[in-house]
Amino acid sequence: MKSSQHEYAQAAFEGIKSLDADSAVAKQYGQLCHRFPSLVLTNGLRLAVAFFQAKGAERPHALYLEHMRKALALDRSWNDELRKENADYLHLSQRVLSASVWFKRYAEAILKIEQGTDTPEQGVN
């Protein structure tokens, strides 16, 4: 039986490896890997997901949410998951933060994206 950390690591690795490391999408995605946990801690999971969904037409944001959903093995949509009771919502927030550590690690290791290296032309807002 795999631990939840192992599942998160495997899903993050697969998601990031599916990107072309030299593409603009991968660079933007890598920055999102660094920013998403801060958004969750600052604004809460609901607002962080809503922000990424609002950017949904932009591929990296939608990809990140989909990869995170797979990492957490969520059966339902983000909107359904975020309607949970307080205790379940807080537990989901903790799981998201745990999984996001792996996305950040692999963004640094595979995509070579360090925190704070974004530029305006990358279009990550």
Write out pLDDT tens, residues 4-29. Answer: 999 999 999 999 999 988 889 999 99
**Distance separating alpha carbons of residues 9 and 15, to the nearest angstrom:** 10
Q: Is 120 a residue whose pLDDT tops 70?
A: no
State the pTM of this model: 0.87
| DSSP assignment letter at 56 | T
Architecture of domain 4-112: Orthogonal Bundle (1.10)
pLDDT band with cut points at 50, 70 and 90 for residue 72: very high
DSSP output for 64-114: HHHHHHHHTT--S-HHHHTTS-HHHHHHHHHHHHHHHHHHHHHHHHTS---
> What pLDDT, on the 0 to 100 scale, is given for residue 121?
40
| More confident position, 124 or 82 | 82
Q: How confident is the model at residue 117 (pLDDT cuts 50, 70, 90)?
A: low
